[in-house]
Amino acid sequence: MKSLMIQGTSSGAGKTTLVTALCRIFSDKGFSVAPFKSQNMSNYSYVGKNFEISRAQAIQAIAARCKITPDLNPIFLKPVGNYYSIIYLQGKKFKKMHATEYYQKFVRTKGLNLATKSLYHLQKNYDIVILEGAGSPAEINLEKFDIANMKMAEKANSPVLLVTDIDRGGSFASIVGTLSLLDKPYQKLVKGFIINKFRGDVNILKPGFKKIKEKTKRPVYGTIPMLDFNLPEEDSLNVKAKDLSWTKKNIDNIDSEIEKISKFITKNLNIKEIERIIK
Tens of pLDDT, residues 143-179 = 999 999 999 999 999 999 999 999 999 999 999 999 9
3 state DSSP class of 29 = coil
Domain ranges of the chain: 2-38+115-277
Residue-level pLDDT at 242: 66
34, 56, 61: which is closest to 45 by C-alpha? 56
Top-level class of domain 2-38+115-277? alpha beta
Helix (H), strand (E), coil (C) string for 175-237: HHHHHHHCCHHHHCCEEEEEEEEECCCHHHHHHHHHHHHHHHCCCEEEEEECCCCCCCCCCCC
Q: Each residue's pLDDT tens digit in the chain (279 positions)?
A: 799 999 999 999 999 999 999 999 999 999 999 999 999 999 999 999 999 999 999 999 999 999 999 999 999 999 999 999 999 999 999 999 999 999 999 999 999 999 999 999 999 999 999 999 999 999 999 899 999 999 999 999 999 999 999 999 999 999 999 999 999 999 999 999 999 999 999 999 999 999 999 999 999 999 999 988 888 876 554 555 667 889 899 999 999 999 999 999 999 999 999 999 997
Tens of pLDDT, residues 7-27 = 999 999 999 999 999 999 999
Taking each continuous run of H as one helix and of E as one strand, the counts in the chain are 10, 12
3 state DSSP class of 137 = coil
Instruction: Give bridge partners of residue 198 from the DSSP assignment.
Output: 225
Alpha helices, DSSP H, located in 96-135: 99-101, 112-125
Distance of alpha carbon 37 from alpha carbon 242, whole angstroms:
21
Residue-level pLDDT at 241: 60
Residue-level pLDDT at 237: 47
Distance of alpha carbon 256 from alpha carbon 175, whole angstroms:
32
3 state DSSP class of 47 = strand
Contacts of 263 (CB under 8 A, 6+ apart): none
